[in-house]
A = this chain, B = another copy of it.
Amino acid sequence: MADQLSDRGKRILEAVIEDYIATAEPVGSRTITRSHALALSPATVRNVMSDLEEMGLLASPHTSAGRIPTEKAYRLYVNSILEVKNITRDKKDEIRRRCQMAGKDPAQVLKETSRLLSTTSSYMGVVMAPRPASSVFHQIEFVKLPGKRVLAILISKNGTVQNRLVQVDEDIRQEDLVRMANYLTDQLQGLTIAQVRERILNEMNSEKVRYDSLMARALALSEQTINTGNPELFLEGQANILDQPEFSDAGRMREIFRAFEKKSLLLDLFDRAMQADGVQIFIGSESHLLKMEGMSLITSTYMTGKDTVGVLGVIGPTRMGYGRVIPIVDYTAKLISRLLETE
Q: Which of A86-94, A101-109, A265-273 is the contact stretch?
A: A101-109
A145 near B157 (CB under 8 angstroms)? yes
B165 near A343 (CB under 8 angstroms)? yes
Residues of B within 8 A of A176 (CB): none
- With A and B bound together, what is the CA distance between A253 and B257 in angstroms? 12
B257 near A238 (CB under 8 angstroms)? yes
Interface of A is mostly: mixed
Q: Indicate whether A239 reaches chain B with its CB closer than 8 angstroms.
A: yes
- With A and B bound together, what is the CA distance between A105 and B227 in angstroms? 9
Residues of chain A from 99 to 135 with CB closer than 8 A to chain B in the complex: 102-106
Please pick, from B143, B159, B239, B261, the residue contacting A254 in the complex, using a CB distance under 8 A. B239
Residues of B within 8 A of A258 (CB): 239
A164 near B104 (CB under 8 angstroms)? yes
Q: Indicate whether A243 reaches chain B with its CB closer than 8 angstroms.
A: yes
Q: Indicate whether A67 reaches chain B with its CB closer than 8 angstroms.
A: no
Chain A count of residues within 8 A CB distance of the other chain:
45
Q: Indicate whether A195 reaches chain B with its CB closer than 8 angstroms.
A: no
Residues of B within 8 A of A159 (CB): 145, 149, 151, 165
- With A and B bound together, what is the CA distance between A161 and B150 in angstroms? 13
B163 near A105 (CB under 8 angstroms)? yes
Tell me the smallest distance from the CB of A294 to a CB of chain B, in Å. 16
A166 near B103 (CB under 8 angstroms)? yes
Chain B residue nearest to A341 (CB atoms) is B147
Q: Indicate whether A33 reaches chain B with its CB closer than 8 angstroms.
A: no
- With A and B bound together, what is the CA distance between A170 and B343 in angstroms? 12
Q: Indicate whether A146 reaches chain B with its CB closer than 8 angstroms.
A: yes
Q: Indicate whether A189 reaches chain B with its CB closer than 8 angstroms.
A: no
- With A and B bound together, what is the CA distance between A71 and B307 in angstroms? 57
Residues of B within 8 A of A151 (CB): 155, 159, 161
A163 near B165 (CB under 8 angstroms)? no
- With A and B bound together, what is the CA distance between A253 and B105 in angstroms? 32
Residues of B within 8 A of A243 (CB): 254
B239 near A106 (CB under 8 angstroms)? no
Given A106-B163, A153-B161, 5 extra CB contacts under 8 A = A139-B143, A145-B157, A153-B155, A239-B254, A242-B250
Binding site for B on A (CB under 8 A): 102-106, 138-139, 141, 143, 145-147, 149, 151, 153, 155, 157, 159, 161-167, 224-225, 227, 237-239, 242-243, 248-250, 253-254, 257-258, 261, 305, 341-343
Closest 10 CB pairs of A and B: A239-B257, A103-B224, A159-B165, A242-B254, A248-B250, A161-B163, A239-B258, A167-B343, A103-B164, A106-B165
> Could you name 19 residue pairs across A and B whose Cβ atoms are closer than 8 Å?
A103-B166, A105-B162, A106-B163, A106-B165, A138-B145, A141-B141, A145-B159, A147-B305, A147-B341, A149-B343, A151-B159, A153-B155, A159-B165, A161-B163, A166-B343, A167-B343, A237-B261, A243-B254, A250-B250
